[in-house]
Amino acid sequence: MRLIALSIAAILAAGAAVAADSPAAVTVDVKNAAGESLGQATISQAPNGVLARFQLKGLTPGWHGLHFHEKGDCSKADFTSAGGHVHDKATIVHGLLNPDANDSGDLPNLYAGADGTATAEVFTPYVTLSGSTGRSKLADADGSAIVVHAAPDDYRTQPIGGAGARIACGVIAPGA
């Protein structure tokens, strides 16, 4: 009987260890300038970065720049309250295709189909949700934001790749 009890305890402990090692995730409501929800982004901690899943609607068809911004503040209608891109260096260089490197907030473009719906998963090794890995933290003391731009990012032009106006924003809360 004692052996069974020890076995059950070991199984429960193993299950708890798996749960403790499971990646943290946050769900972010992405809104347009009128405050209407366009859908959600779910950001999950991965061992070497984060995986972000986007399920949005109501976008204009075509490609849209997508970036992590440094402040968890989408209060202004033009979303400039979210600040610049997440970065961890004094000199900020934008662009995934820029030979001089890129900032931590750079992400691949998001494509919205003819009906304005965009569904995508994007992985980036440049940030962490809240871990202590030396990468920029999205859920730091002032949080951060996910911002969708009106036009595609060309991945080279400073400061935002020609992505144009900020058309949608979602807050990644501090301590998430």
The whole-number pLDDT of residue 102 equals: 72
pLDDT given for residue 97 in this prediction? 65
Task: Give the helix/strand (H/E) hosting 2.
Answer: helix 2-21
Spatial contact of 161 and 94, defined as CB atoms under 8 Å apart:
yes
Domain 23-172 is found in CATH 3.20.170.30: no
Q: Is the pTM of this model over 0.85?
A: no
Q: What would the pLDDT profile of 57-94 be if each residue is shown by its tens digit?
A: 999 999 999 999 999 999 999 999 998 877 766 666 66
Q: Domain limits of the chain?
A: 23-172
C-alpha distance from residue 43 to each of 6, 15, 47, 52, 123 (Å): 37, 23, 13, 4, 10
The span from the CA of 58 to the CA of 10, in Å, is 49
Q: Is the pLDDT reported for residue 20 higher than 60? A: no
Identify residue 119 by its one-letter amino acid code.
Answer: T
The two tokens of residue 166 are 């900020």
List the beta bridge partners of residue 40: 29, 55
pLDDT at 19: 35
Count of beta carbons in the 10 Å neighbourhood of residue 134: 8
